[in-house]
Amino acid sequence: MKPAAARGLLLSSLCLALCCRGGARGSPTRLRVYHWRGGVGSWLSTSHWFIRVCDLGAPWVTLLSCHLPPEHGFEERQKIDNHEWKKLIMVHHWPVTVCKEVEKDCRDPPDYWTIHGLWPDRAEECNGSWPFNFEEIKDLLPEMKMYWPDVIHPLNHSHFWKHEWEKHGTCAAQLDALNSQKKYFGGSLGLYEKLELNSILQKLGIKPSINYYQISDIKDALASMYGVVPKVQCLPPKQGEEVQTIGQIELCFTKDLRLRNCTEPGELGESGRAWGPGLEVCEDGPAFYPPPPQSAR
């Protein structure tokens, strides 16, 4: 074997081993970010250095291994590509935290949990030739503006709705109950109303506060009310902050729209998969549930 080929083979094996090791540990996003940064950036961090090695010596290995979400096996990956999914996630977000996440000084964010989306797990953008059509949901406009507002762009909600339809709605539409835009948005509003998260939190005495909550208390209280395991997502503490900030509460449904646990014992999913740029599954421990700006004064 020529020395160059032997070197390539050696680097390939090293790279493959590293990629797989990264996968076993968890975050696919992190791995891909490392890869990208490694391509243009610093040589200083060890992880970046290894990925540079992959780029130099074995681009085909990077292609084959590093770009597959590593927590999924081959069969799982095929399901994602085939747009197969098994649960629906009703994602509520706390507008104050949304504004904090994007570092936007929102003027008057709603002081109640609003809808981020109704998301099938493991499937996105299932039908690029089914465009969003505002006309179809015109009748729902008052409820949409109230409960599913674009928190970041409150003067133009329809961009956000278009995004949610194209990314998530086209996949949810595999269900007869959600197989039109009217049914998808109307059905999501129906589930949101049925869940009554805002009044349930109030009943539980969980209100925005300058005092911190324990995440396990919130999760346990919600689980006892709904009878299923929810998922709570937080913004990790920024520099100078003591604790994480609560951002999203997810409740999950079966395909026949019955509540189910968001994660089953042994199921992947508590590994910190981030839905937004900064959101992660909350760490056990204290968390800030930030009051809206005016009542914080």
Q: Which residues bind ligand 5GP (CB under 6 A)?
A: 93, 98, 102, 116-117, 150-153, 160, 164, 167, 275-277
CB of 163 to ligand 5GP, least distance (A): 6
In the chain, the N- to C-terminal Cα span, in Å, equals 72
3-state DSSP helix/strand/coil % of the chain, to nearest 5? 45, 15, 40
Comparison of 62 and 93: residue with beta carbon closer to ligand 5GP: 93
- Asked whether the CA dihedral 64, 70, 74, 79 is positive or negative, the reply is negative
Comparison of 173 and 221: residue with beta carbon closer to ligand 5GP: 173
Burial of 117: CB neighbours in 10 Å, binned 0-12, 13-18, 19+: buried
- The neighbouring-strand residues paired with 235 are 245
- Helix ranges (H only) for the chain are 3-25, 28-40, 46-57, 59-61, 74-81, 95-101, 141-147, 158-164, 170-172, 181-195, 197-203, 215-226, 293-296
Buried b (16+ CB within 10 A) or exposed e, 152-171: bebeebeebbeebbbebbbb
- Asked whether the CA dihedral 166, 96, 264, 177 is positive or negative, the reply is negative
Distance CA 73, CA 78 (A): 9
CB of 160 to ligand 5GP, least distance (A): 4
Which residue of the chain is nearest ligand 5GP when measured via CB? 151
Comparison of 12 and 27: residue with beta carbon closer to ligand 5GP: 27
Comparison of 278 and 286: residue with beta carbon closer to ligand 5GP: 278
CB of 107 to ligand 5GP, least distance (A): 14
CB of 34 to ligand 5GP, least distance (A): 20
CB of 155 to ligand 5GP, least distance (A): 12
Comparison of 19 and 151: residue with beta carbon closer to ligand 5GP: 151
- The answer to whether the beta carbons of residues 246 and 282 sit under 8 Å apart is yes
The residues annotated with a catalytic role in the active site are 116, 164, 168
Residue with tokens 């996440």: 101
Comparison of 38 and 95: residue with beta carbon closer to ligand 5GP: 95
CB of 7 to ligand 5GP, least distance (A): 41
Helix (H) or strand (E) holding 258: none
Distance CA 124, CA 122 (A): 7
